[in-house]
Amino acid sequence: MHHFQYQNGALHAEEVPLARIAEEVGTPVYVYSAATLRRHASVFREAFPADTVTAFSVKALSNLHVLKLLASEGLGADVVSVGELERALRAGMKPDQIVFSGVGKRREELRAALRARILQFNVESEAELRTLSEVAEEEGIEASVALRINPDVDALTLPGISTGKKDDKFGIPWERALETYTLARDLPGLKPDGLDFHIGSQITSLGPFERAAERAASLVRELRGAGFDIRRLDLGGGLGIPYADGDQPPLPSAYAEAVTKITAGLDVQLIFEPGRVIAGNAGVLLTSVVLTKHQTTKNFVVVDAAMNDLIRPALYGATHRLLPVAQKEGDPSAYALVGPVCESTDKFTDAAMLADPQAGDLLAFGTAGAYGAVQASQYNTRPLVPEVLVDGGSYKVIRRRPTLDEMLALEE
């Protein structure tokens, strides 16, 4: 559920007309709905036992103001860099609700996280385990470690965002789980008391989650049998969301029910790392039509947003629902919808159904809150796209558009 709706033919974010934001802030611009973020956070959190840590995957949407809002809803953070850690801490997320994921953490990143006394390091290799042990010893701080084990489960999602198959770069191979836990126990400064899985993103059926949870539960039992005191089970993120009309991914409640049925009786604290399901439908990318253009056999609409602002279509072939900000009369026809960047892959869709598009018309890409702004770049020296947070009848700019001088200042 989200709060982007038409009122008298005009698309609103909560009570604010998107046309007003376009007018006052300019386009392209990401617009988020605070009510939607709050709702998603509470629905997810309340689906699980009270001691569960819901660690929002900061990579999905890392704006400080959004993180503050989620912190006030009781969410923690899943971070993958010292930068994300700093964001989570500045947003007020509690260190004992922060987990550190990632396949290539550097020594200084591990040090910063140790000093912040985070809940858990999700360690993905023997090499990382050794480095973490050294840094923990230097700092005199014991590190709580969960090994991220690769369960070799097919997440049945886009190949580019699947992470739990045996030849993916992520995690420790299933067959080496026990020996790696033994190494962790033998190395100084480490407390291997957690287990971590994450099998992929935009997963739209329960099967892969159930298979992963079953493998995790059996591994918890096996590890305990071998004398390891496993207290936490982190099942990662990955729950999919509807991008197109008709998509029906499982609701958080169904996901929670399926997974907790399998983990019940294990006596572990559960951790989840949801990103997309919290942020995805809480944001749109607002853009305006620059011009229309008619090639030999194809009609184009060129908008002012481009692949550098929303890269998912160019990178993964992803599609985002297209919403006219002002509903128009007339029969729609198909247009190729492209941005101004000098690449043929700077195309959002080949079949945008639009009624009489004109320069200045406003359009919104739906479901753009997750992996939207965070994956933006300045390619073609286009300024990083700004972000706006709507709350009820008002909004604020939570990241402004940089000036050209600011963009060039780092090169002076």
Which residues are part of the catalytic machinery?
342
Please indicate if the annotation marks 210 as binding a ligand: no
Nearer to ligand LLP, 192 or 313 (CB): 313
Give whichever of 78 and 387 is closer to ligand LLP, judged by the CB atom: 78
Has 111 been labeled as part of a binding site? no
CA of 106: how far to CAs of 103, 187, 202, 225, 363, in Å? 10, 18, 28, 33, 42
Six token digits for residue 21: 């934001």
Consult the annotation and say whether 30 binds a ligand.
no
Comparing CB distances to ligand LLP, the nearer of 187 and 318 is 318
> How far is residue 311's CA from residue 301's CA, in Å, rounded to a whole number?
18
User: Shortest Cβ distance from residue 160 to ligand LLP (Å)?
Assistant: 7
How far is the first Cα of the chain from the last one, in angstroms, to the nearest whole number?
46
Structure tokens at 195: 């287990």
Helix (H) or strand (E) holding 404: helix 404-409
Question: In this structure, what DSSP letter does residue 266 have?
Answer: S
Shortest CB 244 distance to ligand LLP, Å = 14
Check whether 312 is labelled as a binding-site residue. Answer: yes
Which of these, 387, 412, 408, 407, lies nearest to 397 by C-alpha position? 387
Judged by CB, which is closer to ligand LLP: 146, or 390? Answer: 146
Q: Does 227 belong to an annotated binding site?
A: no
Reduced DSSP (H G I as helix, E B as strand, rest coil) percent helix, strand, coil of the chain, to 5: 35, 25, 40
Among residues 89 and 314, whose Cβ is nearest to ligand LLP?
314
Residue 181 among known ligand-binding residues: no
CA distance 197 to 236: 6
CB of 168 to ligand LLP, least distance (A): 11
Quote the tokens at residue 160.
């580019």
- Which two three-digit tokens encode residue 381? 């020296």
Q: C-beta of 330: minimal distance to ligand LLP in Å?
A: 33
Contact positions vs ligand LLP (CB under 6 A): 57, 60, 78, 101, 161, 198, 201-202, 236-239, 273-277, 312, 316, 370-371
- At residue 78, φ and ψ (nearest 5 deg) are -105, 115
Beta strands at 269-272 and 232-234: parallel, antiparallel or unpaired: parallel
Q: Are 173 and 151 in contact (CB under 8 A)?
A: no
At 265, list the tokens: 């009786």
**Would you say 257 is a known binding-site residue?**
no
Distances (CA, A) of 341 to 24, 62, 193, 304: 24, 25, 49, 9
Q: Nearest distance from residue 202's CB to ligand LLP, in Å?
A: 6
User: Distance (Å, rounded) from C-alpha 170 to C-alpha 163?
Assistant: 6
Nearest residue (CB) to ligand LLP, 274 versus 283: 274
The CB-of-72 to ligand LLP minimum distance in angstroms stands at 20
Q: Which residues are annotated as a binding site for pyridoxal 5'-phosphate?
A: 238, 273-276, 371
Q: Which residues are annotated as a binding site?
A: 238, 273-276, 312, 316, 343, 371
Q: Which residues are annotated as a binding site for substrate?
A: 276, 312, 316, 343, 371
